[in-house]
A and B are shown apart, each in its own frame.
Chain A
């Protein structure tokens, strides 16, 4: 290690300052400035990369809009109504409320693109529902809520997939599509574990919802249930781009919450706006930092160096994917998901490309992988959230999460071996002929925007 090398010093600053608790986005900007300054380059390149990057990445606008729509759905009690509907469907089985938790997350996943939004928004209701009357231990309810929230960004829409599309230049439309089967697979795995736990610990069967309630509850949930249909139908029917779909989701959520359910006042709407704007700034800062630091990574030729090293190992594509899985699982225990996506994944992409791995498949595997990282201790953002919501200790939640993590990793291995994604895409190609999701390519949006700026 050469301590006079600007890149080494920048890396030391990056690691050192973030370990000392400085926000990661800010640390990345500083590391870029340090690198530029010490290597005698113009320090303003950091600001230029950051500003032009943000200004030129139109697809990223899906991020704030999806955050906003999730905020509106939670504030407008759409999630509560969904929960009641799911109770109607699967509440009657042993471990029923656990299944309700899973199914609700699957449906919510079809509307929201963020695991954090799922856990933070409907998590409280899900945990309360399960622990009422001492039916389930609070730690189990919390663990299940964290685990099911992971499905959110795997089933489309998905904020992490938008970020991946940016760094890998892959089609968001195909990425979204590729997430459907893996997401359902993970839900099935979770329901399996939940059944097993319910039998083992003799969790109670909840009261059956009387059949005459069926039409009312279904009708009540219907507008909310339509949301995934509108979103995905809109994207794949070629009516709107994924970014526009995010705006439509927010508009639709507001319309049904405020006008149909009448559960959202103007004041609550404004509170959701403020909350979403703050979250947007926090996650946007991370993106801004990554845009600046990616210049350093690129100008030091890191991705190619990594490719060279990995090429020396002479791995097959599936061996490479296994290595990627392991690296990301370990990093997922330590780092926040978007950081991994924006900093580590770009370094791995060229190798994956060189090995002929499909970028969509790689993206789905990577996103699933990183989402599992959200529930692995010691740094699992979802675990922190549910522990706080349920008022249980982190260690108790972690203990109850373990069987689920094992199941999810098993599901990841299955997904890695091509089957589900390949099947989805093949299905897509055979049914839709030549139509592709409209304007879904990141490159397309970037070109359009370049033209916009240049014009």
Chain B
């Protein structure tokens, strides 16, 4: 048995419609006889038979649409008895099966929608500027662009990296660290980013606030004694002690150290303290001192000084920007007693220090003047509660009271 298949008559023929059979089952046909009429987009063609045969069965009804290569009739080639099986005719078409293509959906483009949880502003910078900024660890949003249309070019990035600022050494008291002036327009992007982050923080994070006054005379005595024995460049600022105290306290209060992401709190095994550094011109960065709990106070001081210097020069590493597990801020220099900070998402707490002032202090029934600092904690109530927050502050106070063990 062989089959009569719908022939391909052209490269773009996919189907043929059987208009009419010219033979009936049982008819004997000879090579070249016309057995059917088929209509295509080009017109009607006569289909002839390849070899002498008897038409055994017609498989397709008149009027049917048949794909090229599909069988239309069964034939018994002449000289072969009907019961005999003969190998099938030519192998099936190698053309891929053509399915009706699904209609192409029409995509309507709405006006640009700003996704909620605004991503940080993406500065316009040339590919080269981006590459160089990444290599040098520069935050592009802090770089003024002087290229065509305000684009940040490589030289702008290099300029930012090497911009000479008058080196202001860290001050004895806690002061906001400042960097050399930049044109106001330069921090517009940064301002926008801060605004977005703060707005989101207040929208999403249920803050609770606690504060505690810590008497620092043991700490300050230890500091002065330690510093007296050291050359000036190696001396420690009070800030380093306070940071160390926070870092160690956090190891016992993991619910204040980590990230709240996708409705889940992920505590961090490491303590990366984000230190808030203000920039003149209205910017703020809070890069991390990594593993602050593992550093000695001396090491922490060195890390802090280096961080401040690099924040001033624009040499921060991206990991320092992204890694803080908690932020510490102090505005003591500005004279405020208490700082109620806003948590930087995805962190879950922020510790604030006010100024270290001489205040009246009652102890053992006696009143004296002591150095006192007010420590505040703003924390995410989804993750911790006031009771735990209070215990954290108590621990911090205890640690600061034994400075030699920090």
Partners in one complex: no
Q: Which residues of A contact B (CB under 8 A)?
A: none
